[in-house]
Amino acid sequence: MSGRRSADDTLAAELFRLEVALAGRDPTGIVGGFEGVLDDGFLEFGVSGRVWDREATLTALVDPPAGGVTVGDFTLTVLADGVALATYRSISDVPGGGVTEGLRSSIWIRREGGWRLRFHQGTRTGTDPAA
C-alpha cells in the first residue's frame, strides 16, 4: 500500500477534524470558528429529541462540555459532488463518573470554498440498562 492518500481519505480526515472540534466545543482549529462551519440553514435533532437551529447551537457551543468526548468508528460517504455523510460513535464522560454513548450522523455540504455542516442527528445508545 502506498503512502498516498485519496481525495476521499483527505476529505474524511478534514471532516473528522471538524466533527471532533464540534464535539469537544473547540473552535480553535476551525477557520471562522463555529460560525464559519455551521451552514445558515443548519438543523440538528438532538439526543433529547430537541430540535436545534443554527443560533441555538451557536449559543450552546460557547460552553465547554462537562467532560471529555471521544469520537470513534468514523465513516464518511460521499453522497454527491459537494455533499458528504459522516457517521460515528461518540462517548462522553459524565461528571461524577460514567459515560454516555451515542450514534451521530452529519450531512456536510461544500459552500464558498469550505465544508459546512447542514444537518446533524444524535441518537443515544443503550448505555442505560433500564432503557
Beta-strand relationship, 83-93 and 69-80: antiparallel
- The per-residue pLDDT for range 75-96, each reduced to its tens digit, is 999 999 999 999 999 988 877 7
Range list of β-strands (E), 11-80: 38-45, 51-53, 69-80
C-alpha cell at position 34: 463555529
- The per-residue pLDDT for range 92-131, each reduced to its tens digit, is 887 777 888 899 999 999 998 799 999 999 998 865 433 3
Query: Which DSSP state fits 27?
Result: G
Distance between CA atoms of residues 117 and 36, nearest Å: 10
Q: What architecture (CATH level 2) is domain 7-124?
A: Roll (3.10)
